[in-house]
Chains A and B, each alone.
Chain A
Amino acid sequence: MNVELSAVDKTYGRIRALDGVSLSLTPGQIIAVLGSNGAGKTTLLRCLAGLIRPDQGEVTYDGRPFSVGDLELRRRMMFLPDFPPHFTSETVLRSLGLVLRIYGADGPDAPERIVHWLRAFDLLHLAEAPVESLSRGQSYKVALLTLLVIDPELWLLDEPLASGMDPRGLSLFKSEARAAAARGRTILYTTQVLEAAERFADRVCILHQGEVRVFETVADLRNRVGETDDGVLASVLNSLHES
C-alpha cells in the first residue's frame, strides 16, 4: 500500500501536534518513528490509522482518502495502540475469532495459522483463558498475534518494543515484521529504544515539535551527519533537543 501524507497539520488547543508533515511510505518498508515525548509520534500513527482527522493536508492510501465507511480500505490496515483494546470477558480464542470475522480473515486456513502463531508466542495453553486474566505482555502478544493472522498491508504499531513482551516475543515480532516487509507490507512503529530502531528499520522518521526532521535510512543519516558508529540517532535527537 502506498501511503502519502501531504502537509498534514493537527492542533490540539494551543499545541501543534503535527506541523506540515509530508511523508511518502512505499510498500515493503519498516519505518521507525522516533522523537521526544510529545513530538507527535502517536498523533502521526493515529492520523494514518484514520482515528484523527487532520486540520490541514491530506492522507491518501493508494490515492484514496481515508473514510470511516470505506471498510475495504480499513481492512487493509491495522493499528495496535500501546494498550490494545480487547474483549476482556471473552477467551483468547473467541476474542481472536471475533476480530478475524470482523476483518473477514476467517478463511479456511485461519485455524492452521492461529495454531502456528499461538505456538510461536507460547500462548497455546492460554487459548481458553479469559483475556482479562493475562499479563500485559501476554495481552499484547494476543493483539500482535491477531495482526499476524490477519496480515494487513499496513501495520501501525505504537511502542511495540515497550509492550511488556518477553525477549522471545520481541524477537519473533522483529523477524515476522522483516518477513512481512519482504512480502510488500508496510510497517510503521514508534519507539524510544534507539538502538533497536537503528537495527530494526529500513528508514527512520524523527519528529520534533510536530515536524519531520529526518526521514531517511540510518546509513544515509550516518553519512550526512558524519558518524560512523552506533548512536547516530541519539546524537541527532540530542542536537534537536538542544536546538
Chain B
Amino acid sequence: MPVLRPDPQLLREVRQRIARNPPPIALTRSLRAHLNRLPALFGNPFVLIVAMAAPPLISAMDPGQRHFAWSVLLFLGIAHVAGILNGHLREHAHLVPFAFLPVPPESVLRTLAVGAIRRIATLSIAGGIGFGIASFRLTEGSNPFLSVVAGLGMAVGFALVATAYCLAAQRSSWLTTPLTLSLPITVLLMISLKSSTWMKAQVTQLLSTHGDLLSALLPAGWVVLPWAALSGHGPWQYLATLIPLGFLAASIPLNLRWTRDTYAFREHILLNLLLETPEGADEELAESVAIAQQRPPSRGETAILDDIADRHFLTSNLSSPDGRIESMVWRWWTPRERIVAEYLRLHWPNWSDRFRLGAIVFAGTIPISVLLGLFLPNWIAVSFIGFAVGALYVLPVSASFTLRPAVLADSHLQLCPIHALPVSLAEVASAQWKATTVRSLIALPLCAATAGLAIGFQGGGYFHGAIIGTQAALIWIAIRPGVTVYRFQAIQRGWMKGFLSKLALAFVVLVLILDLVGLCICALPFAGLAAVAVLLPLNYLALRFTCHLLDRHGVDAINPIQPG
C-alpha cells in the first residue's frame, strides 16, 4: 500500500476546521470506544459464560486441575486485553485528526500508549485485587502475608504478561489471534467436564496428573505457578517459571522499539474514512478525505495502450493457477465455465494451500490417535475431532465458488449474480460441481486413510474408518447441486413467491432436507455411501427443476422495500 500524503491545502483547511470546531465527534467516539471496551470485555457472552461457570468448577478441583484452569482463564483474559490494546493503537478516535496533522507517528504512538498503559494498569489491578481476595479463600491455612504477596504478584504478572503479549502480537499474526487458539481449548475443557462420565474422568485424571505441566505451556501459567508456590499449593520449584517470565519481560523493550519504528496509521485511517463516512461525521470533511485519497500513479498512456492491445485485460484472473488442484479444475472447466467462475469469485481460493494444511492436521491426528489408543483407548472423540478439523481444509466444505450477491453500489439493493449479468444458474451450478468433484476426489484417498487409521487405532475398525472417510469425501459431490440451489434461494429473496408450481418447489425443499440428513449419517459406515447414491440424482433433479421454474415462471430479482 503506497504512503498517502494529504494535500497541504487540505491539511491547512482541516487544521482550521478543527480549531474552529473542537472535535466533539472525536471525544464522543473516544468515550464511546472506552465505554464499549468494558462491556466488550465483560459483556462478551463467551467470557461471561466462562466467568460464571468457572468458580464453582475450579473450587472443586484438585491443585493440578485448578492451576491449569486458572492458567487457561488468565490466558483468555490476557489474550482479550492484548486484542483490545492492539485495537486501541490502530483504531483510536484521535487517530482521525492525527491522520491529517503533520505529527510524527512515534508521537501519536506515545500519546496512545500512555492511555493503553493506564488501561493495562486498571485491568490488572482490578484483576489482581479480585484474585487476591479469591486467594484468601482458596489458601485458607497458609501464610496470609504470602497470600497477599501472591495476589499482588498475580496482578503485576498479569500486567506484565498482557503488555509483553500485546507488544509481541504486533509482530506476529498468530499472536493476534490468541482468542482463537484459547477458545477451543476452553470449550473442549468445559464440554469434557460437563459431558459423559468417561470423558470427564479422563480429563480430570489427565489434569490431576499433568495439569501443572500443561499450565507451564501457557504464558499465564508462568504467573499462576509461582503464585501456587507462594501459596503453598505447589513446590518451590514452580518458581522456575519466573525464568521464562523474565525473558518475556526482557522482550518488552525490543518489541517497543520495533513497534515505534514501524508504527503507521495514516493509510489505514484514510482508507477507512474513504470507504465509510463515520457516524455523525461532517460529510464535507469526509468528501475532502475522498479527494485527498490519491490513486497510485498511472503507468502512462503508452503502457496502458500496449496492455489493451495485448488483450491482457481480457485474460482471466484464474488462468494461471498456482496449485495442482486449481490446475485440474481449470482444465476440466469449459471456456464458459471459466468465465462464470471468475465472475463468482474473481480469484482462486488457495485450495492447494488449504489441502496441504489439512494434510498436516491429518498427519497430526494419526499419531495422536495412536498414542491415545495405547494409553486412553476411549478417546475416540478426539480422533473424530482431528479428522473433522482436517476435513474442513481438505474437503470442499468451504472456500468454494459460491453465489454471492452483487451489490448495486450505494443503492442498498442487491442482485443474485445470475440476474445482474447474462449468466444462468445452470452454468453456475456446473462450474461449482466440477470444482467440488475435483477437490473431493483428490481428498478421497487421504480422507479414507486418515479416518481408517485414526478410527481404527481407537478400536472403531480400520475398514469402517476408511468407509467413513470415503463417504465424507463423496457426499459433497452428491449435495453440491443442492447447495447451489440453497445459496440461490438465500440470495434471491422471495423466490418462492414467483413460482406457480408448488409441487415442484416442495420437491426441491425435500431434497435440501435430505441433503442435511445425508451429511449427518456420513458418520455411520455404509449409510453414507447409500446416501451418496440416492442424493446424487435427487440433487441433479432438484437443480433442473429450479432452473426450469426460473425459466418458465420468472422471479422478482429486485424487491423494493415495501411502505408500512
Answer yes or no: are A and B bound together in one complex: yes
Which positions in A face B, CB cutoff 8 Å?
12-13, 15, 46, 50-53, 66-71, 74-75, 81-91, 93-94, 96-103, 106, 110-111, 114-115, 124-130, 133, 136, 139
Are B407 and A85 within 8 A (Cβ)? yes
B contact residues around A101 at 8 Å (CB): 314, 316, 339
Are B551 and A69 within 8 A (Cβ)? yes
Which of B317, B423, B551 is close to A70, meaning CB atoms less than 8 Å apart?
B551
Are B424 and A102 within 8 A (Cβ)? no
Are B313 and A97 within 8 A (Cβ)? yes
Which positions in B face A, CB cutoff 8 Å?
293, 295-296, 298-299, 301, 304-305, 307-309, 311, 313-317, 339-340, 342-343, 346, 406-411, 415, 418-426, 498, 547, 550-558, 560, 562-563
Are B407 and A102 within 8 A (Cβ)? no
Are A84 and B313 within 8 A (Cβ)? no
Which of B340, B408, B426 is close to A85, meaning CB atoms less than 8 Å apart?
B408
A contact residues around B406 at 8 Å (CB): 85
B contact residues around A69 at 8 Å (CB): 424-426, 547, 550-551
B contact residues around A106 at 8 Å (CB): 314
Contact A93/B307 with A12-B562, A81-B408, A83-B411 known, Cβ cut-off 8 Å: yes
B contact residues around A91 at 8 Å (CB): 313
In Å, the complex CA distance between A123 and B425 comes to 34
Which of B342, B410, B498, B552 is close to A98, meaning CB atoms less than 8 Å apart?
B342
Q: How far is the CB of B226 from chain A (nearest CB, A)?
A: 51
Are B308 and A89 within 8 A (Cβ)? no
**Known interface pairs A12-B560, A103-B422; 5 further A-B residue pairs with C-beta atoms within 8 A, sorted by A's residue number:** A15-B562, A69-B547, A69-B550, A100-B314, A102-B423
Are B309 and A111 within 8 A (Cβ)? yes
Closest to A100 in B: B314
Counting chain B CB atoms within 10 Å of each CB, the highest count among A15, A51, A68, A90 belongs to: A68
Are A83 and B410 within 8 A (Cβ)? yes
Contact A96/B313 with A53-B556, A102-B422, A103-B422 known, Cβ cut-off 8 Å: yes
Which of B304, B342, B556 is close to A52, meaning CB atoms less than 8 Å apart?
B556
B contact residues around A130 at 8 Å (CB): 295
Closest to B427 in A: A71
Are A93 and B408 within 8 A (Cβ)? no
In Å, the complex CA distance between A93 and B316 comes to 12
In Å, the complex CA distance between A159 and B343 comes to 26
Are B557 and A133 within 8 A (Cβ)? no
Q: How far is the CB of B147 from chain A (nearest CB, A)?
A: 58
A contact residues around B315 at 8 Å (CB): 97
In Å, the complex CA distance between A128 and B302 comes to 12
Closest to A114 in B: B308
A contact residues around B407 at 8 Å (CB): 85
Are A85 and B425 within 8 A (Cβ)? no
Q: How far is the CB of B180 from chain A (nearest CB, A)?
A: 26
A contact residues around B426 at 8 Å (CB): 69
Are B554 and A68 within 8 A (Cβ)? yes
A contact residues around B550 at 8 Å (CB): 67-69
In Å, the complex CA distance between A179 and B166 comes to 65
Which of A68, A83, A96 is close to B408, meaning CB atoms less than 8 Å apart?
A83
A contact residues around B558 at 8 Å (CB): 46, 51-52
A contact residues around B296 at 8 Å (CB): 129
A contact residues around B339 at 8 Å (CB): 98, 101-102
Q: What are some 21 contacts across the A-B interface (CB < 8 A)?
A: A12-B560, A13-B562, A13-B563, A15-B563, A50-B554, A50-B557, A51-B415, A51-B556, A53-B554, A68-B419, A70-B551, A83-B410, A84-B408, A85-B408, A86-B409, A101-B316, A106-B314, A110-B314, A111-B309, A124-B304, A133-B295
Are A93 and B424 within 8 A (Cβ)? no
Q: How far is the CB of B246 from chain A (nearest CB, A)?
A: 47
In Å, the complex CA distance between A127 and B419 comes to 26
In Å, the complex CA distance between A68 and B488 comes to 13
Contact A89/B346 with A67-B551, A133-B293 known, Cβ cut-off 8 Å: yes
In Å, the complex CA distance between A66 and B311 comes to 33
Which of A83, A87, A97, A115 is close to B314, meaning CB atoms less than 8 Å apart?
A97
B contact residues around A12 at 8 Å (CB): 560, 562
A contact residues around B313 at 8 Å (CB): 91, 93-94, 96-97
Are B411 and A71 within 8 A (Cβ)? no
In Å, the complex CA distance between A106 and B419 comes to 21
Q: How far is the CB of A128 from chain B (nearest CB, A)?
A: 6
Are A83 and B298 within 8 A (Cβ)? no
Are B557 and A52 within 8 A (Cβ)? yes
A contact residues around B551 at 8 Å (CB): 67-70
Which of B298, B299, B409, B418 is close to A68, meaning CB atoms less than 8 Å apart?
B418
Closest to A130 in B: B295
Q: How far is the CB of A86 from chain B (nearest CB, A)?
A: 6
Are A111 and B346 within 8 A (Cβ)? no
Q: How far is the CB of B142 from chain A (nearest CB, A)?
A: 61
Closest to B558 in A: A51
Closest 6 pairs between A and B when the two form their complex, measured CB to CB: A53-B554, A74-B422, A93-B313, A97-B313, A51-B557, A69-B551
In Å, the complex CA distance between A12 and B562 comes to 7
Closest to A73 in B: B422
Contact A68/B425 with A89-B346, A90-B346 known, Cβ cut-off 8 Å: yes
In Å, the complex CA distance between A85 and B315 comes to 21
In Å, the complex CA distance between A81 and B410 comes to 11
Closest to A68 in B: B550
A contact residues around B410 at 8 Å (CB): 83, 136
Closest to B405 in A: A85
In Å, the complex CA distance between A52 and B555 comes to 6
In Å, the complex CA distance between A84 and B410 comes to 9
B contact residues around A81 at 8 Å (CB): 408, 411
Are A129 and B295 within 8 A (Cβ)? yes
Closest to B549 in A: A68
Closest to A38 in B: B563
Are B556 and A68 within 8 A (Cβ)? no
B contact residues around A114 at 8 Å (CB): 308
Which of B298, B316, B342 is close to A126, meaning CB atoms less than 8 Å apart?
B298
Q: How far is the CB of B297 from chain A (nearest CB, A)?
A: 10
Closest to A136 in B: B410
Closest to A102 in B: B421
Q: How far is the CB of B553 from chain A (nearest CB, A)?
A: 7
Contact A66/B314 with A83-B411, A102-B421, A102-B423 known, Cβ cut-off 8 Å: no
